[in-house]
Every structure is written in structure tokens, then in C-alpha cells.
Amino acid sequence: MPHAVEMTGISKYFPSSNVQANRGVNFRVQKAEIHALVGENGAGKTTLMNILYGLYEPDEGKILLDGQEVILRHPQDAIRCGVDMVHQHFKLVPSFSVAENILLGAEPGQAGFLRPAMENEVVRRLADSFGLPVDPQARVRDLPVGMQQRVEILKALQRDAQILLLDEPTAVLTPQETRELFDVIRNLAQRGRTIVFITHKLPEVMEIADQVTVMRRGEVVANNLVSETSIPELARQMVGREVLFRVVKKPAAPGSIVAAVKNLVVAGAGCYPAVKGVSFHVRAGEILGIAGVNGNGQEELVEAVTGMRPTEMGAVYLESHDITHLPVGERRAKGLAHIPEDRMSTGLNLKTTLDENIISTRYRLPEFSRRGFLLWANIRQFAEKIIKDLSVAAAHPGEGIDTLSGGNLQKIVIGRELSGDPRFIVADQPTRGLDVGSIEFVHKTLIEARDRGAAILLVSVELDEIRSLSDRILVMYRGRIAGELSANDATEESLGILMAGGKLAQVEKEA
Amino acid sequence: MAKHSSGKQLTNAVLIPVLAIISGLLVASLFLLVSGSSPLRAYQELFKAGFSCSRLTNCNLFQTLQLATPLILTGLSAVMAFRSGMFSLGQEGQFLIGATIAAWLGYAIHLPPVLHPIVIMAAAMLGAGLYGWFPGVLKTRLGINEVITTIVLNNIANLFMTYAVNFPMRADQGTTAHSPLIDDAAVLPAFVQGSKMGIGLVIAFVAAGLVYIYLWRTIPGYEQRMAGQVPLFARFSGIRNEGAALRGVALSGAIAGLAGAIEILGVHHRLLQGFSTGLGWDGVMVAILGQVHPVGVAIVAVFFAGMRLGAQIGLQAALQVPRELGGGLIALMILFVAVQNLYRGWIEGGREWFQKRVRRGDPVQK
């Protein structure tokens, strides 16, 4: 039986960024298989999938679908051939209903008039036939992310997709939503659909995929049966060297208190405050981790500490200065650095050059400006130094950064935020969406900053990250600190109980 | 696909308007063919009338440059606002405020030459700057959309100017209401007899250079561009977005006011009812056609003015083609700028082709 997808000798070169994104790639997927495509950021996975989806034409190579050669010049060609893609950033119309989104461009109707009742019926039948319940009349903007993704998948199925490409489908999902997605994927594979999904979360590969292809630097380096491989082996194939899954660090040597938060109350989106009287302090040379299920007030806490959101009550201190009501710029001048949760829209300006990004928090320093004029020669030198020191791949000082991979973008953010040795670093989900190699880099850099005497507030929903980096751990639950644990006491179980709203006494009892 | 480097920005600022202009000319030839004239001949006349220069005393290019002067400035005004994230359409109103202040100070106070026009231009910039700053305050303090407030303020400025020239500033009861002539000392001199192209043009080009330096080389300009591009990023970095936006609209107003002052001091020498032919609005078009870049604005403004003059005296007078075609031609070009992504693709394609040939030897991998 021919393969559902067979790509041979695919090469793609982007002259504008001078990147050989794919180099002689061979990629085969069997029918009704769940196939994981893994690799570091910038390994060429997305380029390969975009070629299969007709977004890019390869410079060289052939594509065979079900054994027949096809030429895909445009996504429409791919869709006609039964290949469909769910992008990382959904392409839905938020103000339209679920049914309107799914049937966009294929509305059933008569003489140019829409028939909403019929649309809802069509979508309901489609959803039932695949066992993917949705409410056809709900507005997409009101749906949680997992549901929006389901709408995207249904949209592809409505177009009779036989081969479904999912670009990092779990990056935006909660663990619960991820489990639901996996059920959907298994269900579709049982119905004969072929699934290719891009990821860099290796446990997910082990859990769901049948076959896994590993890419590195534009080439396929391995193709394994999942049953015959392991996470360390995959990580080694991805990165090209042994990967340390445990962070190596010396015991902390905490110094004086650098930052403190007293009875902080911060408003949230709804009627109740999101942060309801939180107090803690961070010492020089220690990492204080804040764990918790997403949405328990961590975001608001970080925004209040960094000056992005006003404080209702309480106070924030940095080196004995009361910074509660200072604007962001003055907080930064007093030694605050902030690695934000969203590097794409907050941490960086993707519309401008690397130069202008790298000085956004530091352009007033005498090295970068004199009497109001920017010193571009010095700025360029600084940008080149960051690129070299952090080995930011494919980056050039005077050019745009919108084509860089997530790991490289985060390196730019970290390079900027950590230069000048800030006293207090707020790192909010610093490794979200990064591959193993980049995660290792971020962790190493934070530990180094700690050992140089910085006080670090780490907020993360990844328990492994919290546990391996933090010296002390606070758990947030519904806007309050549910409990504090030392790094040694924090087990998956004790953290889990606190995160779910349990009490520390319970933790001790069960321990 | 790194399309944000300043070099590439500059190439785009030049190439996109040029390609749009060529496309506009091509499509307009169809209309010329329909009206029975040879497009080649018509364009020849158009360009000859717009850009030729036979003698110093009979030079169409000079007139074109004179017409371009206020367009450059109102275009720069729009660039300043748009780059700061404020879609201010108040150039027309600020232009009129600047012109009214200039015409009044031109006869109401008496100062020695050189000093007089400088004081007048400074006052016009201050007044119009405040007039531009006001909608900025409404936006940053109260969240009122600046597009609407600036358009409304344009009307108010127009009515104010009409009132001023009809009542307090009216010189005599002639047919068209006008103010007294300004002092000779206040007049911005022209370079050659018979043309009104003069110091104003120099000021406009210098202003283009200064706007470029301000936006791309200074701290406040950098802050304004960052706040304009990605407000969240700017705030996160410690930039005060409200301040940046207010600076942007105030400077934008001042530049438009300068355009009004130069138009009075260099061309009309008095305020006339209905003297502005929508120069402020044209500035918005010039800015958009010029890729919201000072260099693009300067090029486009000269071209724009030449087309207008050429259509008027070349097409209409020589070929009896209605001069409205000139306006239509310009409108077509604006339309083609709207499809600039097409040109971006071409430019990018050309660049790729070029780089492929140059760099094929050693592709550096990611």
C-alpha cells in the first residue's frame, strides 16, 4: 500500500534571511498513522509542513500523496488533495458563530441567501459523525482555546481532509484540553485519517504517536517507531548532544531582601480581585518560584509587580524603595528586569529591527544615547555582542526579527533583560513554547543570574520547571498564597494538593 | 524576509510609489485612448508642463516646486502623527490655524526683516501645535477616537478662518473676503522673479531631513515609533505611550501650521476666503503614497504637484483633455499604492533573485 504522504529530496532556501530551511528532506507517513514531527525551534518542521500545505513551493524534491505525484502551488491545491492544516495561531473569525466559521466559503444556501438553521444542522451532523461535540451557535470569541481548536479541526474535516497537519497543537492547551485533543486524534486515526503533528514536547510524542520523525538544522536525522525509542534518545537526536533534564545548580546562598510584596490586592477582569492580599519577599541570590494552575492570579500579580497593572491595595518594594505606584520605566531604572509571558506581543516588537528591540529598555543609558540622540554604532555593537554571546541563530542587528524561531526570540529578550545585571528579575513562563535545547539555555541563564546575586521571581505553570529551578516555592490558589514549600519538600503530590486548593496540613498528613 | 531594516524601508519608500505611479499611468492611458488622445503624446505634454524648465523666468518646474512646498509639510505632519500611532487627519485644520495666525501677525505686528517671518512661523507652529495636541489629550485622557475629533476640528478651524477673514481681519468690502497684505518684512522671498518658489521650499526640505533625524535618530522619536508600532511592547519597555502620542500629534500640528504660515508668507501674502484647496488632505495622501517616510513624502509631493500643474496647463491647454483627468490619474496612483503588497512581492522577488545569484555559493544555515 502506498504511503499517504511521501516527500522526497525536499529542499527550501530562503534567500532573504539566507536560511536553508530544508535540505534534501525525506518524509513518509503511512495511512491512518499518527506521526509526530519533532525538532528544535528553527529545525525546519514548520517549513516542511507549509510545503506540504502548499504555502511554499520547494526548490527541489517531489511530493507524492497516495503514491501519486502532486504539485502544490497554493493551499487550495493541498485542500483539494485532502491535505489540511491547523495552524498554531487559529484562523477563525472571532465574531462569527461556530457554524459560520466551519462553513466559511461553503455555506449551504439558496440563491445567495444564507440559511442559518440549515448551517447549524449541517455542522451538528458533522460534529456528531466524528464524535466532536460543539455548539454550532456559540460565538467563537466566547469559546476556550481548546474548543476553538476543535472548530479548526472540524473545519478541516468539513473539507474532507484525509491528511491533517497540526502545528504545535498542544502549545496553547491546558493539560485537560490536551487529553481531550489526544482522544480526538486517536478517534480520527481510527477512522482512517492520517495525522501529522508538530511538537517539541517529547512526553506527548511517547503518549500518542505511532511513528516519529526528528529534524535538526533542516534535515531529517532520524525516523523511529515510538515503541522502539525513548525520550532521552529523541532529545539527543533533536539537539545533537546529551540533554540534561535536571538542572545543575549549587545550593542557594540567599543574601538580603531585594524585593518584597506586602498585602497586595490587584483587580482582575471580573468583579472580584484577582490577587487578594499576597505577601512575600525575594532575597538576593535565590529563586522564588510561584506555582499554580493558570488563572489563579499569577498574571495579575506579575503585572502589578512590574508596573503593567495598577495596584489596588498593599505595596511593592524594591531595595527598600516603595515602587507600588511607579511607572514601568522608573522601576526598571531601580533594577527591575521582566521576562514576560508573551514574547511575541509584549517582550518584542516584531515589526522592527533587532537593534531597536535590544535597546528598548536601555536606550537612555550613556552607552546608547547622548543628549537625546541615539548612538547607533554602539547599539549595533551591543546587538552583535548579544547575538554572539547567546548564539542567536540567523539574526542580524539591522534586520527584522519576525522570521526568527521562538527560542531565538527568547534569547533576544533574555539578552536584553539580563544585561546590566538587574537586581530583581521577574521571569513569567520563561520557557513557554520552547524546545528542550532552548529550555536548557534559559534555565542555565537564570541560575547564573541567581549565582551572580540577582533575586528572581519565577512564575510558571510547569511543575518540573518550578521544582528544578526554585529555592523556595509558593503556590497560588484563587488569588491567595495557598502555602510555601522549600525546594526539597516540594513533591509533585504536595504541590498538586496546594494547587487544587488543599491545605498544607493535608500535605503533611499524606507525606 | 527581514523587511524591516532601515535600508529596505528606504528602498520600499522609493520603489513602491514609483511602481504605483507607473501602474497608474498605464491604466490612465486607457482613459486617454477612449477620449481620443494618444497616451504617449498626453504624457509627454503632462510631464513637459509639469517638470520642464525652458528659461528662468518661464519655468514650470519652479511652479511645481512651489506647489509641492505645502504638500511636503502637510505630508510630514501626517508622517509624524501616523508614526506615533495616532491616525490624526487634522492636517487641514492645523494648516488653516497656522495660516490665520500668520496672516494676522503679518500685519498686526511690525518687526525687522528675517526676524518677522521667524516670529510668525514660530507662533503659527505653536498655535497649530496646540490645535493638534488637543485631540491627542482627548484620546489619551478620555479615549475619544482621534480620527473623529480631528475631522471635527478641521471643520471648526475652517469656520474660524472664514469668520476671521470676513469680520475682524477683513481688509475691505471687495468681492472675496480677504485680510490686509502682510508687511514686506514678513514676506518669505522667492528665488527668481515671476515665480513664488523660495525660502519656503528650502524650509520644507530641511523639515523632511529633520523629521527623519528626529524619528530615527533621537530618543523621543524612537519612543514615538515604538509606541506607535506595538503599544504593549513600548509600555512593557518603560516608554510612556501617552506622552509619546501627545508629542507626536503636537509636532504633527506644528508642522502643518508651518505649512499654513509658509503658504501665507511666501505665496498669498494675505488670508483669502477659501484659499486652501484641501492641502491638508492632500498631505495625508502624500504621506500614504510616500510610505509614511520623509524621503517618500518629499519625492511624492513634488511628483503630485507636477502632475497637477501638468494636467492643468499641459493636458487642458495643449490637448483639450479635461484637467480632471490629472486628478483622476493621481487617484489611480493612490489606488495602486493600496495594492502595495503586490509590489512588495515583486521587490522581495527581485531581491531574492539578486541575492540568490550573489550568495548561492555559501548558504549559511540556520
| Environment class of B147 (CB within 10 Å of its CB; exposed 0-12, middle 13-18, buried 19+) | middle
Please answer yes or no on whether A399 and B219 come within 8 Å at the CB atom. Answer: no
Tens digits of residue pLDDT in B310-319: 888 888 777 7
pLDDT of residue A411: 93
Nearest to A399 among B5, B233, B234 (CB): B5
- Taking the Cβ of residue B361 and every Cβ of chain A, the question of whether any pair is shorter than 8 Å is answered with no
Size of interface A-B (CB pairs under 8 A): 129
Cell for B124? 503659527
Average of per-residue pLDDT across A454-468:
90
pLDDT of residue A366: 93
Q: Give the gap in angstroms from C-alpha A36 to the nearest C-alpha of chain B.
A: 22
CA-based Rg of chain A, rounded to a whole angstrom? 25
Please answer yes or no on whether A18 and B364 come within 8 Å at the CB atom. Answer: yes
Comparing alpha-carbon positions, the chain A residue that sits nearest to B2 is: A400
Please answer yes or no on whether A13 and B363 come within 8 Å at the CB atom. Answer: yes
Please answer yes or no on whether B352 and A15 come within 8 Å at the CB atom. Answer: yes
CA torsion through residues A341, B232, A457, A446, sign: positive
Per-residue confidence at A244, pLDDT binned at 50, 70, 90? low
Comparing alpha-carbon positions, the chain A residue that sits nearest to B1 is: A16
pLDDT of residue B244: 96
Comparing alpha-carbon positions, the chain A residue that sits nearest to B347 is: A16
pLDDT of residue B3: 38
Question: What distance in Å separates the CA atoms of residue B163 and residue B165, rounded to the nearest whole number?
Answer: 6
Tens digits of residue pLDDT in A87-133: 877 889 988 999 999 988 788 777 777 788 888 888 999 988 888 88
Cell for B269? 501674502
pLDDT of residue B8: 67
Please answer yes or no on whether B2 and A17 come within 8 Å at the CB atom. Answer: yes
Q: Which amino acid is at B145?
A: N
Give the list of residues 6+ apart from residue A479 with CB closer than 8 angstroms, or none: A268, A272, A273, A274, A275, A276, A278, A296, A297
Nearest to B355 among A15, A348, A374 (CB): A15
Nearest to A351 among B4, B219, B359 (CB): B4
Task: Say if residue A392's pLDDT is above 80.
Answer: yes
Task: Say if residue A510's pLDDT is above 70.
Answer: no
Task: Note the pTM of the prediction, 2 decimals.
Answer: 0.79
Per-residue confidence at A16, pLDDT binned at 50, 70, 90? low
From residue B85, how far is each of B103, B230, B290 by CA, in Å?
A: 32, 9, 17
In contact, A194 and A162? CB cutoff 8 Å: yes
Question: What is the residue-averaged pLDDT of chain A?
Answer: 89
H or E, element range at A306? helix A298-306
Average of per-residue pLDDT across A441-466:
92
Question: What distance in Å separates the CA atoms of residue A510 and residue A386, rounded to the nearest whole number?
Answer: 48
pLDDT of residue B365: 39
Please answer yes or no on whether A15 and B351 come within 8 Å at the CB atom. Answer: yes
Q: Which domains does chain A have, with CATH numbers?
A: 5-239 (3.40.50.300), 257-343+423-510 (3.40.50.300)
Q: Give the gap in angstroms from C-alpha A399 to the nearest C-alpha of chain B.
A: 4
Task: Say if residue B111's pLDDT is above 60.
Answer: yes
Question: What is the residue-averaged pLDDT of chain B?
Answer: 87
| ipTM of the prediction greater than 0.85, yes or no | no
Comparing alpha-carbon positions, the chain B residue that sits nearest to A41 is: B366
3-state secondary structure of B74: helix
3-state secondary structure of B90: coil
Domain boundaries, chain B: 60-349
Task: Say if residue A269's pLDDT is above 80.
Answer: no
pLDDT of residue A173: 75
Please answer yes or no on whether A346 and B363 come within 8 Å at the CB atom. Answer: no
Question: What distance in Å separates the CA atoms of residue A233 and residue A230, rounded to the nearest whole number?
Answer: 5
Q: Which amino acid is at A26?
A: N
Per-residue confidence at B357, pLDDT binned at 50, 70, 90? low
Tens digits of residue pLDDT in A148-199: 889 999 999 898 899 999 988 887 777 778 888 899 899 999 999 999 999 8
Chain A positions touching B226 (Cβ under 8 A) are 349, 352, 356, 360
Q: Give the gap in angstroms from C-alpha A131 to the nearest C-alpha of chain B.
A: 40
In contact, A85 and A53? CB cutoff 8 Å: yes
Q: Which of A75-79, B8-12, B24-28 has the lowest mean pLDDT?
A: B8-12
From residue A31, how far is each of A28, A35, A132, A404, B304 by CA, in Å?
A: 10, 10, 22, 33, 61
Please answer yes or no on whether A349 and B233 come within 8 Å at the CB atom. Answer: yes
- Size of chain A in residues: 511
Pairing of strands A455-459, A424-428: parallel
- Taking the Cβ of residue A345 and every Cβ of chain B, the question of whether any pair is shorter than 8 Å is answered with yes
Question: What distance in Å separates the CA atoms of residue A70 and residue B181, rounded to the nearest whole number?
Answer: 77
Per-residue confidence at B6, pLDDT binned at 50, 70, 90? low
Tens digits of residue pLDDT in B232-247: 999 999 999 999 999 9
Please answer yes or no on whether A403 and B348 come within 8 Å at the CB atom. Answer: no
3-state secondary structure of A246: coil
pLDDT of residue B363: 43
| Environment class of A190 (CB within 10 Å of its CB; exposed 0-12, middle 13-18, buried 19+) | exposed
pLDDT of residue A359: 94
Average of per-residue pLDDT across A292-306:
91
- Taking the Cβ of residue B346 and every Cβ of chain A, the question of whether any pair is shorter than 8 Å is answered with no
User: What percent of chain B has pLDDT above 70?
Assistant: 93
Average of per-residue pLDDT across A219-245:
85
Task: Say if residue B341's pLDDT is above 90.
Answer: no
Chain A positions touching B7 (Cβ under 8 A) are 398
